[in-house]
Structure 1
């Protein structure tokens, strides 16, 4: 009976996995489909006569956009870590007055719709000259990632024994030295988790990019994909080929960092 239940659960899991992965398969299929076959009914479920014109277009048109997205993603990761890790250390170990209220404010901040934040940033950037700039996008994207990073780091650092920080103080280490030499090395899993999600958010951002960098010379890959969509023309094989290429860094990062992410997300869930 147990074996039958196991097979039943496995079958359901495979079906659900296939349903969730089907859009990825269809994206690859369309990226290899010739333009004249795009509106074929019924559509080809497999590209029997594949074309790589879409991927040629990616190499020809989209490499600058990919480079900008990489710069924005890495810059957002760096800024998020610099801001969120020390803030979380303060909340978890130094325990300042009002720390609980600050944590609640961070939760509220994550509930604000991105379009509202984008319009606020637009008004600010218009006055200080940060519109259509990579730095402006990095700052905007980090406002979404920093609250998440503080919450993840705080949950992880609260699980670090206070005896370690107490021993460091006895040895003469100040708060900053303790954070840099003891807390950060132990927090590797949470650093990887925050870095990964931050990079993915910045890499896939469209709202901030279209609002704050829609007219700039250096634009991210989301706007590069959007340029293929016009009023009278949709280059679907180029769109999907760009989407496939843009998905590769995210997929590689997820595969490489999955065990660190799992440990980082579950950190703080169980207390001694």
Structure 2
């Protein structure tokens, strides 16, 4: 046991070093937000005299943008799961033609840069009147989240024993009742995983927000930080405070959904 521990010690130290390197930008962001200095490069390594004045300014100026991002993210999650869950179940359990082609198309869609999709959507949105609207941004964000959610959910639903669905069908349940009463509860981990990633996609979106909004009527927090940075380039504390506040929802969701993510992402790996 001592030899095993001694062998693992260098890997543990190396992992801690890499973790500290990856977390240092987050620490520096929070550290700078607590200091009153104007320039981030002049900030001390530790906030000796911390002040929360920058957070008060960030909340007063960016709270509306955070609310807009929250509405877009929640709407994206709902729309993604409503479309992706039945589609994944159909491709996993029904003998549909061209399933392999559809899966290949979903994979290819994940490789298309977001700016390409955004430019294509701009002309369509301009004709449909969806520019500068929350529904328009929700639809745009789902173009990224739905294919990814289908891939995750289908991999998990393929591992569900067919006998469970067949038993429900024998008892008189239709396809929709069997899906809702049997498949959805069993696929809870995968659904939460897909929903969380959909939330993160929408919450951190910048390309669609920048391309599909031309006024200040609808401004997500990512676009707010972008415009805020240009206006407050000489005062970095409010900018960093806004970035720190924008990171909190994602951190909270990741912490509380961690066990569901690991189970949902790996649930379809073993049948």
TM-score range, shorter chain: over 0.9
CA contact (8 A) 1:77 1:198 kept: yes
Check conservation: 1:193, 1:265, Cα contact below 8 A. yes
Quote the Cα distance in structure 2 between the aligned partners of 1:20 and 1:253.
Answer: 19
CA separation of 1:211 and 1:30: change in aligned 2, threshold 3 A:
same
Question: How far apart, CA to CA, are the structure 2 residues paired with 1:234 and 1:125?
Answer: 36
| SS of residue matched to 2:152 | helix
- RMSD over aligned Cα, in angstroms? 1.4
Deviations 1:216-245 (A, max 9, x none): 412111111112122783431111101111
CA distance in 1, matches of 2:172, 2:104: 33
Q: Does structure 2 conserve the Cα–Cα contact (< 8 Å) formed by 1:58 and 1:241? A: yes
Instruction: Give 3-state SS (helix, strand or coil) of 1:227's partner.
Output: helix
Match of residue 212 from structure 1: 212
C-alpha distance in 2, partners of 1:188/1:26?
36
Aligned residue for 2:63? 63
Determine whether 1:19 maps to 2:21.
yes
Q: Which runs of 5+ in 1 are unaligned?
A: none
Q: Distance in 2 between matches of 1:19 and 1:232?
A: 27
Give yes or no for contact 1:133–1:216 (8 Å, CA) kept in 2: no
Question: Bigger shift: 213-222 or 261-270?
Answer: 213-222
- For each residue in 1:47-90, what CA deviation from the matched residue of structure 2 results, as whole angstroms up to 9, or x when unmatched? 11223221011121011001001100000000000000000010
Task: After TM superposition, list the pairs within 5 Å mapping 1:121-136 onto structure 2.
Answer: 121-136=121-136
The separation in 1 between residues aligned to 2:149 and 2:38, in whole angstroms, is 47
Provide the residue aligned with 2:82 in structure 1.
82
Q: Which residue of 1 is the match for residue 99 of structure 2?
A: 99
- Three-state SS of the structure 2 residue aligned to 1:213 is coil
**2:229 alignment partner in structure 1:** 229
Cα distance in 2, alignment partners of residues 26 and 146 from structure 1:
34
* Counterparts of 1:270 and 1:34, CA distance in 2: 53
Deviations 1:162-220 (A, max 9, x none): 00111112112111111111111111001100010000110000000011024141211
Q: 1:22 and 1:30, CA in 2 relative to 1: closer, same or farther beyond 3 A?
A: same
Change (3 A) 1:21 1:38: closer
Matching residue of 1:242: 242
Gapped regions of structure 2 (runs ≥ 5): none
Q: Is the 8 A contact 2:69 2:220 kept in 1?
A: yes
Residue of structure 1 in register with 2:261 after alignment? 261
Q: 1:186 to 1:38 in 2, by over 3 A?
A: closer
Q: Distance in 2 between matches of 1:39 and 1:98?
A: 56
SS at match of 1:229: helix
Is the 2:39–2:235 contact (alpha carbons within 8 Å) kept by the matching residues of 1?
no
**C-alpha separation in 2, matches of 1:159 and 1:38:** 50
| 1:91-240 to 2 correspondences below 5 Å | 91-230=91-230, 233-240=233-240
Mapped contact 1:228–1:235 kept (Cα < 8 A): no
Q: CA deviation at 1:3?
A: 2.2
